[in-house]
Structure 1
């Protein structure tokens, strides 16, 4: 039996791409329809590559919240490193060493790049969970992952009668 992935109700097919849930009052894409009151699955990877930083904003928006949190941790580290390099090269330039002007410029561009990437990821996270964590530690990520793994997995069934023993 086809059921709504949000409330567990029986649903009716509208057309080749959608079903309709009377309780939720909404069309549901056929790709997320469930069987026998199953819950929505949480999609995530517990491995995030640094190459994800260079993804476009629409590509970043497809990542799970866990992946976004991990990505933000990496971006913040890169941004911090670029700020440190920018500061060092700026001080070297102030000391009269002109060889570091190009490195300072490149570090400044990289710093701006990582800052904008951080803004993107922070805003996506904010829209999903309502806030952006000030610090994202390995412990924070491990706890988040543990909460995902320990989430309710049982079917969405409402018991209507009390069962006698």
Structure 2
């Protein structure tokens, strides 16, 4: 039985458009294409089978990803951001130490710093974009994303997704 992915009600076939069947939920007042429906009052799995961990993509692409994948991506972006930040800080300390003992920095050193600064700015903006998407969806941002945190939300997502939508009256 084809059911609504939100309320669990059986859906009525309304027709086809461009060879795709569409179904209506009279309770939610939404028409769904077949791929967005549920089956036998089971919830859609909220946990993806795999995670696309690439973060060098436009924000529009990030908006299409599920929240659990975004948590994984945010963990990676935060690590890359921190690594670049640390490298920049270390280079500044190194430059100050070298100013008194060596001649002016070479052009290649300046290029390296410029490239790292550009990368830092880019990673900062990517981090902000991902954090704000998650914040819009969940209402909060975790301070730190650990493997324990990721495993916990995956387990909770699987457990919630496996609960069928039956209305019981005792």
Superposition TM-score, scaled by structure 2 size: 0.82
Distance apart, 1:27 and its partner CA:
1.9
What's the CA shift for 1:30?
2.2
TM-score of the superposition, structure 1-length normalised? 0.84
For residues 76-105 of structure 1, give each alpha carbon's deviation from its aligned partner in whole angstroms, at most 9, with x where no partner exists: 111111111112223333443413222111
Unaligned runs of 5+ in 1: none
Distance 2:89 2:60 in 1: 32
Q: Tell me, yes or no, if the aligned pair for 1:89 and 1:103 is still in contact at 8 Å.
A: no
Check conservation: 1:72, 1:118, Cα contact below 8 A.
yes
How many pairs align? Answer: 159
Specify the alignment match of 2:14 in structure 1.
14
The reply on whether 1:33 has 2:37 as its aligned counterpart is: yes
Task: Compute the displacement of 1:155 (Å).
Answer: 2.8
- Tell me which residue corresponds to 2:2: 2
> Are 1:156 and 2:158 counterparts?
no
Alpha-carbon distance, 1:74 to partner: 0.9
- Over 3 Å counting, the alpha-carbon distance change for 1:56 and 1:44 in structure 2 is same
Q: CA deviation at 1:152?
A: 4.8
92, 95, 120: which one aligns with 1:93: 95
Which residue pairs with 2:83 in the alignment?
Answer: 81
Structure 2 Cα separation of the partners of residues 151 and 82 of structure 1 = 38
Higher relative contact order (CA 8 A, sep 6+): 2
Find runs of 4+ consecutive structure 1 residues off by over 6 angstroms: none
